[in-house]
Chains A and B, each alone.
Chain A
Amino acid sequence: MSAKKTRPTKAEPKKGKGAKTARRTPAKAAPKGAAGASRTVPKRAPTKAPGTAPARPKPSGSALKRKVTLEWEGWFQIRTSTDPDPTDEPYGVSGFTFALPGEPLLDRVVRFASPAKDPGFNPLQPRSHSPPYGVTVRNVLVGKKPVKDHPLLGATIDLLPDEKWRPPTEEQRNNALLGDTGDDGYMFVDPFIFEIRKDDAVITCHDHLDPKRPEVTVLEATAEQLKRRGFYDMDLANVDAFMAAVNQAMAGEFTSYAGFRTKRRGLIERDVDLLRSIPQASRTPEQERGLRNLEFRLHQLMNTNTGDRPFIRLGATWSRRLTFNGKIDINKAARKNLGGHRFPFSDVTVEFWFGVFDCDTHSAYAKGTLTMYVAPI
């Protein structure tokens, strides 16, 4: 992450009303009204072969396949070094993220799961005053209609490790990855295995940088393969995103990030005062270390000379969209919840933004949709 402004890539169409239609339209079909569009030809009545049985009425499209959209969002953790520190800086020196004494090293792993889930692998490392972690399904739409009691409501979203147990990791290499300028903010996440889980129901969607060679990592992928996984739009002052994320974390009292920053500072100051009230000779080594760590965080929050570094990306979001190109697994319980199986050969698409980086707690927010077509049982 850095402050450099970049232009969106042309790899994906701009988000907008026409974008999805364009993607769904067969390549050769000319848009309505466009130059070269075919004239409207009056439809002939279908000719019926003599002796054949009367045609059965075709079921409507909605009876054949049903669009199901899962709307999900939530806070997650990403403990990454930030520019101008090198990518593998484990402690943080010159950027605005730091692993403090007693904390694990910065590892760039994206942790979507809530603390309760699978504490043995990929555990979260919450700092005090972290937002509530956990990315979950908040709404389910069948067609365009929200289903209030859908069984997948509340399902957890997680990014899984791959077969070699490589965790989902952010890669950028200080803008060395892509072959053009302005790749700042791509922050590729690889591997990208998206899981939706509620009780016994599990949906797992795999995406590969190179579907023909799933073992390819960001280091070997071509620029085009990387761009597909990267962002198609960015917004460095996304107030709506900030409000959605921060007010959820802190009871809806903020209209700007300055208020959030002041509140966090006040909370840490209170903790510092509490620890300082214990005579130094009576403090345990953990308390002493905790006090120093809190003082360090406070120093970062107070240091307005450096451009509000811990919160410098609170208002920034990067939008991504991709159609999974790997295996889609929907287990029996999930099929039951969805009311059917995935419509054969249909796309499963995820579209989301992530951003609103609260670098004081190494937290960020993600919000998006997963869309699939279900053939009802």
Chain B
Amino acid sequence: MSFLEAKRLAERNADPGKKFDVEDRDDLAKLLRAGAALEHSLALEYLYAGYTVKRPGLDEMTSREDEAMRRWRGTLFLVARQEMEHLGIVNNLLNAIGERPDFERDPFPQDRTVTPEGLPLELRRLDKDSLGVFIQWERPGWKAQERLPPNLKRHLLVRSAHNPFPAAYTLEELYLGIRDGFEKLTREMGEDKLFVGNPAAQHVYDDPSRNMLVQAVRGIDDARSLIYQILEEGEGFSFVNEQHTTHFERFCLMAEEMKDLGSFVPSRPVVDNPTVLGTHGGTTLRGPAAQVGELFNLAYDCMVLALARGYQYRAEDLGPKGDPFRVNAMFNLGFQPLMTNAIRPLGEMLTEMPSGAGDGTFAGPPFERLTTAADLDQPRDAFYPFLRGQLQKMLDLADTLAGPEDGPCAPGVPERMKFVRENLKLMVRKYDNEMQGVPQ
């Protein structure tokens, strides 16, 4: 939906010099929501590809291939983390202008008639084609392209093979439209009238070891610099990044290496766009993979619910003295343990399980949402019991799949499920402890 709204805004603009002409706060929020949906979708796309990469102990590889696959997985996860960082930045921008933060996106595969540049947003295993699409997503804008060295420039040539759809707007045009919108509204309304959000709702994160930096937005200068950060980290907007760490360059390097490895196939034969719900196309998972896929969806959905509620920073969620205990509990649940000790292990496990199609393919994580905006927006007394209920469903299903403590897992379910069950129990115990300590 957010891409469609951005496309309509692009079509509305008559000025040939730029793609978007933001007229009011509502227009700006629409573009920011499109940005949030894009960053969220790209993060999942890269994570999915990373989960499908061949792993030692599971797939036969030479030491050279083994070492390259580890690096590629690391690269895909790193870029995915930075897309999450960008999602955090966009939500800080939304919060800063008093708009609701946004974690919504369309289901995979997404409608290419509305996606930026008409590029595909779908869950695909890592191969030459999907990497080609990643490069297109992260490529510098037209001006910067002219300055690209030949070894990088040649990776742009595959564009036509992947993009039969007309480009409504590019990723760069979207963010430049957002930047121009901030500047225009600041000029017209004044900084104090535009930046009316609660400063305490800004979620700040700085961890160089994870390559992540999310800063607070307090005014137009912060907004400008954070939009620049998104463009710089992704595509190397100015092309002054001398450390060659842009997503575009990382993916180009991977493509070069892929070529050097010849006929080596870097990923397991994992299906495209796996689904448990089966409501938006894709490949329906069957058998044990469907159950693990369901558990994955529950974990992913709880994570999104927790982060979205935390970013909202609602007054009713604060303690009597304004203490953000509940907000912190949401972030403590969503960020680390669920992402690292449930979502990733489950995602990797699925790529080891037959998809159930009977054609030798393996399953993958479906990344399907199970709850709606109405669930998220429930008042405090309803939301927290609802979230706890979702966590309990997740625990119960993990318990069934992991089997008895000293016995085997459910048929067809990898042993790693026992580790996931342990982690989920710990996370829910931690969550319960934190929520018990919250002053009413």
Report A's interface with B, CB cutoff 8 A. 2-4, 83-88, 90-94, 96, 98, 100-102, 105, 173-181, 219, 223, 285, 288-289, 292-293, 296, 305-307, 309, 312
Complex A-B: 12 CB contacts under 8 Å = A3-B207, A91-B70, A101-B56, A105-B57, A173-B341, A173-B423, A175-B332, A179-B429, A223-B433, A292-B67, A305-B211, A306-B211
Taking CB atoms and an 8 Å cut-off, the chain B residues in 332-348 that contact chain A are: 332, 336-337, 339-341, 344-345
Further 7 A-B residue pairs, CB within 8 A, beyond A219-B425, A312-B209:
A84-B339, A98-B70, A100-B67, A176-B337, A181-B328, A223-B433, A306-B211
Q: Which 9 pairs, one residue from A and one from B, show the smallest C-beta to C-beta distance?
A: A179-B433, A307-B208, A176-B337, A176-B426, A101-B63, A307-B209, A289-B63, A174-B340, A3-B209
User: Which stretch of B2-10, B71-79, B378-386 is in the interface?
Assistant: B71-79
In the bound complex, how far is the Cα of B332 from the Cα of A72, in angstroms? 37
* Residue contact B81 to A84, C-beta cutoff 8 Å: yes
* Residue contact A93 to B341, C-beta cutoff 8 Å: no
What's the minimum C-beta distance from B48 to chain A, rounded to whole angstroms? 15
Residue of A nearest to B335 (CB): A175
Against A, the Cβ 8 Å flags (1 = close, 0 = not) of B43-79 are 0000000000001110000011011001001100110
Residues of chain A contacted by B340 (CB below 8 angstroms): 83-86, 174
In the bound complex, how far is the Cα of B429 from the Cα of A307, in angstroms? 33
In the bound complex, how far is the Cα of B433 from the Cα of A191, in angstroms? 25
Taking CB atoms and an 8 Å cut-off, the chain B residues in 312-364 that contact chain A are: 328, 332, 336-337, 339-341, 344-345
Q: Which of B66, B422, B434, B437 contacts A101 (CB 8 A)?
A: B66
* Residue contact B341 to A91, C-beta cutoff 8 Å: no
* Residue contact A306 to B430, C-beta cutoff 8 Å: no
* Residue contact A88 to B416, C-beta cutoff 8 Å: yes
Taking CB atoms and an 8 Å cut-off, the chain B residues in 415-440 that contact chain A are: 416, 419, 422-423, 425-427, 429-430, 432-434, 437
- B145 beta carbon closer than 8 Å to chain A: no
In the bound complex, how far is the Cα of B50 from the Cα of A277, in angstroms? 35
Residue of B nearest to A1 (CB): B209
Residue of B nearest to A313 (CB): B209
Report B's interface with A, CB cutoff 8 A. 55-57, 63-64, 66-67, 70, 73-74, 77-78, 81, 207-211, 243, 245, 328, 332, 336-337, 339-341, 344-345, 416, 419, 422-423, 425-427, 429-430, 432-434, 437
* Residue contact B74 to A93, C-beta cutoff 8 Å: yes
In the bound complex, how far is the Cα of B437 from the Cα of A198, in angstroms? 49
Q: Which of A85, A100, A305 contacts B245 (CB 8 A)?
A: A305
Q: Which of A93, A96, A292 contacts B73 (CB 8 A)?
A: A93
* Residue contact B339 to A219, C-beta cutoff 8 Å: no
Residue of B nearest to A289 (CB): B63
* Residue contact B78 to A94, C-beta cutoff 8 Å: yes
Residue of B nearest to A99 (CB): B56
Residue of A nearest to B433 (CB): A179
Q: Which of A98, A176, A178, A312 contacts B423 (CB 8 A)?
A: A176
In the bound complex, how far is the Cα of B315 from the Cα of A154, in angstroms? 61
Contacts A84-B81, A84-B339, A223-B433; A309 near B209 (Cβ below 8 A): yes
Q: Which of A2, A175, A180, A292 contacts B63 (CB 8 A)?
A: A292
Residue of B nearest to A4 (CB): B207
* Residue contact A176 to B433, C-beta cutoff 8 Å: no
In the bound complex, how far is the Cα of B427 from the Cα of A179, in angstroms? 9
Residues of chain A contacted by B344 (CB below 8 angstroms): 86
What's the minimum C-beta distance from B249 to chain A, rounded to whole angstroms? 12
* Residue contact A177 to B56, C-beta cutoff 8 Å: no
Residues of chain A contacted by B434 (CB below 8 angstroms): 179-181
Residues of chain B contacted by A179 (CB below 8 angstroms): 429-430, 432-434, 437
Residues of chain B contacted by A285 (CB below 8 angstroms): 63
In the bound complex, how far is the Cα of B427 from the Cα of A181, in angstroms? 12
* Residue contact A93 to B70, C-beta cutoff 8 Å: yes
In the bound complex, how far is the Cα of B340 from the Cα of A264, in angstroms? 31
* Residue contact B427 to A176, C-beta cutoff 8 Å: yes
Residue of A nearest to B211 (CB): A306
In the bound complex, how far is the Cα of B81 from the Cα of A219, in angstroms? 28
What's the minimum C-beta distance from A341 to chain B, rounded to whole angstroms? 41
What's the minimum C-beta distance from A166 to chain B, rounded to whole angstroms? 15
Residues of chain A contacted by B419 (CB below 8 angstroms): 87-88
Residue of A nearest to B210 (CB): A84
Residue of B nearest to A307 (CB): B208
Residue of A nearest to B53 (CB): A93
* Residue contact B77 to A94, C-beta cutoff 8 Å: yes
Residue of A nearest to B205 (CB): A4
Residues of chain A contacted by B245 (CB below 8 angstroms): 305
Q: Which of A98, A181, A292, A312 contacts B332 (CB 8 A)?
A: A181
In the bound complex, how far is the Cα of B78 from the Cα of A96, in angstroms? 12
Residue of A nearest to B206 (CB): A3
What's the minimum C-beta distance from A140 to chain B, rounded to whole angstroms? 40
What's the minimum C-beta distance from A122 to chain B, rounded to whole angstroms? 21
Q: Which of B209, B243, B423 contacts A2 (CB 8 A)?
A: B209
Residues of chain B contacted by A176 (CB below 8 angstroms): 336-337, 341, 423, 426-427, 430
In the bound complex, how far is the Cα of B423 from the Cα of A86, in angstroms? 10
* Residue contact B63 to A288, C-beta cutoff 8 Å: yes
Residue of B nearest to A96 (CB): B209
* Residue contact B243 to A174, C-beta cutoff 8 Å: no
Residues of chain A contacted by B336 (CB below 8 angstroms): 83-84, 174-176
In the bound complex, how far is the Cα of B431 from the Cα of A51, in angstroms? 71
What's the minimum C-beta distance from B364 to chain A, rounded to whole angstroms? 17
* Residue contact A177 to B426, C-beta cutoff 8 Å: yes
In the bound complex, how far is the Cα of B69 from the Cα of A98, in angstroms? 13
What's the minimum C-beta distance from B88 to chain A, rounded to whole angstroms? 15
Residues of chain A contacted by B77 (CB below 8 angstroms): 84, 93-94
* Residue contact B63 to A306, C-beta cutoff 8 Å: no
In the bound complex, how far is the Cα of B336 from the Cα of A178, in angstroms? 13
Residues of chain B contacted by A312 (CB below 8 angstroms): 209
User: Which of B78, B210, B339, B419 has the largest count of A CB atoms less than 10 A from its CB?
Assistant: B210
Residues of chain A contacted by B437 (CB below 8 angstroms): 179-180
In the bound complex, how far is the Cα of B345 from the Cα of A93, in angstroms? 13
* Residue contact A175 to B337, C-beta cutoff 8 Å: yes
Q: Which of A94, A101, A173 contacts B67 (CB 8 A)?
A: A101
* Residue contact A94 to B332, C-beta cutoff 8 Å: no
* Residue contact B345 to A177, C-beta cutoff 8 Å: no
Contacts A94-B74, A174-B336, A305-B243; A219 near B63 (Cβ below 8 A): no
